[in-house]
Copies of this chain bind each other. A is one copy, B any other.
Amino acid sequence: MSAPSLSLDEFVCFAIYTANGAFNRAYKPALNAIGLTYPQYLAMVALWAKDGVTVGALGEQLFLESNTLTPLLKRLEAAGLVTRQRDAEDERQVRVHLTDEGRALRLKAASVPESIVGALGSAAAPEDIGRLRDEIARLRDALNAR
């Protein structure tokens, strides 16, 4: 009895793994133009929506730990987009605030998503994309709940 021959294309995880890489590549040109990496862009999107959060709270949104976020945020700080300062109430926590430059970047980044929609539109209708997004998030949450 030999093991059955599995194709990578049968794995959902592989579709997601490769789709993630494809998104990364697709975003790259637009993100290069504003000097952000893909994870940095996601962090900035979160901060544009809600500023002054702790590293932990930001990590909860991004599903990342401080061991990933701290260096990333230090780079955003070095780029002049955010500040990192200890919370006076609880000095274990570090709060991340946008600088004026960080807020200003939001306008320049406004066209970033548009650089992708064209390619997506050729593969699925907008409402299908939305449903797909929610189904994928469902899978993610089920896995994370384990």
In the bound complex, how far is the Cα of B6 from the Cα of A106, in angstroms?
Answer: 11
Q: Determine whether the beta carbon of B45 is less than 8 Å from that of A8.
A: yes
A132 surroundings in chain B (CB, below 8 A): 12, 132, 135-136, 139
In the complex, which residues 99-146 of chain A have their Cβ closer than 8 Å to any Cβ of chain B? 106-107, 110, 113, 116, 118-120, 122-124, 128-129, 132-146
Q: Determine whether the beta carbon of B136 is less than 8 Å from that of A106.
A: no
Residue from the list B10, B16, B26, B27 in contact with A136, Cβ < 8 A = B16
Number of A residues with CB within 8 Å of any CB on chain B = 60
A123 surroundings in chain B (CB, below 8 A): 138-139, 141-143
| Contacts A15-B136, A22-B63, A106-B3; A46 near B8 (Cβ below 8 A) | yes
Q: Determine whether the beta carbon of A16 is less than 8 Å from that of B12.
A: no
Interface CB pairs A-B, < 8 A, 24: A5-B49, A6-B48, A6-B49, A8-B62, A9-B137, A13-B20, A15-B134, A16-B20, A16-B23, A17-B23, A18-B62, A18-B137, A18-B140, A19-B143, A21-B63, A23-B143, A116-B143, A119-B146, A123-B138, A123-B139, A123-B141, A123-B142, A124-B139, A128-B135
